[in-house]
Amino acid sequence: MNVFIDKGEFVFFIGPTGAGKSTIIKLLLREEVPDKGKISVGDIDVTRLRRWKTPAYRRSIGCVFQDFRLLPNRTAAENVAFALEVIGKPKSVARRVVPEVLELVGLGGKEHRYPHELSGGEQQRVAVARAFVNRPLLLLADEPTGNLDPDTSIEIMRLLDRISRTGTTILMVTHDSNIVNQMRRRVIEIENGQIVRDQARGVYG
Amino acid sequence: MRAKYVMSEVFLGLWRNISMTVAMIITMAVSLTMLGAGLLLYNQVDVIEEYYQTNLEVVVYLDRDITPEMTDQIKAELEDSGYAAQVQYESKEEAFERFKDTFEESEDLVNAVEAEVLPAAFRIKMNDINDADKLIADFSEREGVYQVTNQRDILQQVFDILGGAQRLTLIVALVQGIAALMLVANTIQVAAYSRRREVAIMKLVGAPNWFVQAPFVLEAVFAGVIGAIFAFATLIAAKFLVIDGEFADLFSLMPPIQMQSILLLLPILTGISAVISAITAWITLRFNIKV
Ligand SMILES: Nc1ncnc2c1ncn2[C@@H]1O[C@H](COP(=O)(O)OP(=O)(O)OP(=O)(O)O)[C@@H](O)[C@H]1O
Ligand SMILES: [Mg+2]
């Protein structure tokens, strides 16, 4: 497959299970390295990225998953701060940025709740906040609404849309036809590892 | 800030898995104690060798009923043989004095021996100690000579015993060391498993590899250092309680083990232990936490 995604685009990846959508996300994160082919993000050739440079590369990418991936023993604010802490940002930065970004995702006032004290939608907001707190140029989302009810899903999509407007490129894998049909963004359909459709302002089909 | 996080993770990790931590520290301590003892013995052999290098003598013990004429004759022959640099006569009385000096602290032994039983002897400083066998061959069968001994042969026995003890300690150190390292690898695996969420998230958000690995490596290093300190304490205790205490008589035949050489073991053991633990942990992580 050959695909080019411009800066600031919002792209849906759809396709049947086993098509290779999550694999694309893994390749972009350099969790997997392809046997052949080339993947570039910005001016970085991910396929030829040295192992030790991977962490620095990943800092320019945000990531959201179906299963939230929050630390259960940390509050919403601490979960977001953790992402800053482990890449060496000083505490003063976290104190300033974390409330800001939690406010942005609509969790103002719930900063000190633990994940088990939050609804699924709220947990996913924390995950989005964590992915976005470093202002990445690229945000990857693998079925971010997969565990959420339709209303909550739409709220998360509004949030991603808002982030998209800040100039962040968003790649989202989804099975949710309603979302795709409502958003009317570029849709890339994959089957068996091949692109079968690439449509601007597309629908689930 | 990050250092504080790493340290709290280290102690949390060790505490969460406390039985394994204790097992790890004990095996490390045993291994390092044996290694330390082996090193001390190695050093001891050197010290003894140096001590006797210049003092080695061949001793010609004379028959108890030897006549003064015969004694003079043997003396003359020894001096003419060309091997001896210096020939010194030691009478029965002198031999007894020397015996009393040597076993000063064992009164019972001294009281049990009569001055008469110790033979008179010639103590010979050799021109070349390597000629000792020739001299022994020439004189041991001579009339009036009871026995000729080369101190180096006796020393050789001491060396053999020390060498054997040293090999034994090093083998135990090696076996225990392997067990300790397997425990380290296991502990690290368990720790990595119990922290897999944190690790996954850290890698996802781009935490540097050293930062992801630091808590695990430091856990192993910490256990290694504690193990080394225990081993050091054991060796100190052994010096005071065994070598200088209970069995002082036995050990007084050797030059004493210097406090200094034991103190030197602290940095050596700690260093070896910390470095090897860290490497083991790091290698374990390379197989467990792929980036
Ligand atoms: N590590 C792997 N090694 C070999 N094959 C794999 C590996 N991971 C996934 N696959 C295979 O690659 C194909 C694509 O998997 P992928 O996870 O990308 O599917 P997907 O499109 O995300 O599906 P779903 O919608 O169910 O999440 C599948 O057939 C899967 O079995
Ligand atoms: Mg998938």
B5, B206, B212: residue with CB nearest A85:
B5
Residue A102 scores a pLDDT above 80: yes
Gap from A64 CA to chain B (nearest CA, Å): 10
Whether the CB-CB separation of B150 and B132 falls below 8 Å is answered with yes
Top-level CATH class of B64-143? alpha beta
Q: Among candidates B147, B123, B103, which has minimal Cα distance to B249?
A: B103
Q: Is A163 a residue whose pLDDT tops 70?
A: yes
Asked if residues B67 and B269 have their Cβ atoms less than 8 Å apart, the reply is no
C-beta separation of B187 from B21 below 8 A: yes
Name the token pair of B113.
Answer: 């021996």
pLDDT digits (tens, 9 = 90+) for A62-98: 999 999 999 998 999 999 999 998 888 898 999 999 9
Q: With a 6 A CB cut-off, is A169 part of the ligand 1 pocket?
A: no
Beta bridge partners of A63: A140
- Once rounded to an integer, what is the mean pLDDT over residues B79-97? 84
For residue B210, what is the nearest residue in chain A, using CA coordinates? A52
Cβ of A30 less than 6 Å from ligand 1: no
Which atom of ligand 1 is nearest to A19's Cα? Answer: 21
Q: Does A26 touch chain B (CB under 8 A)?
A: no
Write down the domain spans for chain B.
2-52+156-288, 64-143
Closest ligand to Cα A21:
1
Chain A positions touching B194 (Cβ under 8 A) are none
pLDDT-above-70 percentage for chain B: 93
Tokens representing B283 are: 């290698």
CA B203/CA A86 separation, integer angstroms: 9
**B14 CA: distance to closest CA in chain A (Å):** 18
The predicted pLDDT at position B249 comes to 64
Instruction: Scan residues 50-69 of A and list those with Cβ closer than 8 Å to B.
Output: 51-52, 54-61, 63, 69
According to DSSP, the residues that pair with A14 across neighbouring strands are A189
pTM of the model: 0.76
Domain boundaries, given as residue ranges, for chain A: 10-199
From A201's Cα to the closest Cα of chain B, the distance in A is 30
pLDDT at res. A60: 92
* B161 CB-contact burial (10 Å; exposed 0-12 / middle 13-18 / buried 19+): exposed
Residue in A closest to B197 by C-alpha: A71
Please indicate whether, in this complex, the C-beta atoms of A55 and B204 are within 8 angstroms of each other.
Answer: no
Q: Judge whether residue B136 has pLDDT over 60.
A: yes
Residue among A12, A13, A14, A21 to mutate when testing ligand 1 (max atoms within 8 A of CB): A21
Residue where the block lists tokens 């003092």: B55
Question: Chain-centre distance of CA B198, in angstroms?
Answer: 46
Contacts of A69 in chain B (CB under 8 A): 197, 200-201, 204
Tell me whether residues A58 and B206 touch, CB distance under 8 A. Answer: yes
For the cut 80, the answer to whether the pLDDT of residue B53 exceeds it is no
**Percent of chain B at pLDDT exceeding 90:** 21
Q: Alpha carbon of B45 to those of A18, B130, B263, B267: distances in Å?
A: 70, 20, 18, 22
- Residue with the nearest Cα to atom 9 of ligand 1? A23
Separation of CA B203 and ligand 2 centre (Å): 19
Average pLDDT along chain A: 93
Work out the average pLDDT over B79-107. Answer: 81
Banded pLDDT at A99 (limits 50, 70, 90): very high
Of ligand 1's listed atoms, the one at least distance from the Cα of A175 is 25
> In this predicted structure, what is the pLDDT of residue A122?
95
Q: Which CATH superfamily is domain A10-199 in?
A: P-loop containing nucleotide triphosphate hydrolases (3.40.50.300)
Angle between helices B196-204 and B209-238 (to 10 degrees): 140
- Taking the alpha carbons of A184, A190, A195, A197 in that order, is the dihedral positive or negative? negative
Q: Mean pLDDT throughout A17-23?
A: 93
Task: Spell out which residues of chain A touch residue B202, defining contact as CB-CB under 8 Å.
Answer: 86
- Interfacial A residues in 82-111 facing B (CB < 8 Å): 82-83, 85-88, 90-91
Query: In this structure, what are the phi and psi dihedrals at residue B27, rounded to the nearest 5 degrees?
Result: -65, -40
Encoded amino acid at B247, one letter? F
Q: Does A33 touch chain B (CB under 8 A)?
A: no
B115: pLDDT strictly greater than 80: no
* DSSP conformational letter for B239: I
Question: Which of A4-8, A99-103, B209-213 shows the lowest per-residue confidence on average (mean pLDDT)?
Answer: B209-213
**Could you read off the pLDDT of B147-161 as tens digits, one per residue?**
888 877 877 887 888
- Please choose, from the candidates A39, A44, A83, A88, the residue with its C-alpha nearest in 3D space to the C-alpha of residue A64: A83
Q: What pLDDT, on the 0 to 100 scale, is given for residue B267?
A: 94
Q: Cα distance from A205 to chain B (closest Cα, Å)?
A: 33
Which residue, A20, A27, A49, is CA-closest to A188?
A20
Alpha-carbon distances of A6 from A34, B73, B102, rounded to whole Å? 22, 113, 94
Question: What is the predicted ipTM?
Answer: 0.88
Question: How sure is the predictor about B1, in pLDDT bands with cuts at 50, 70 and 90?
Answer: low
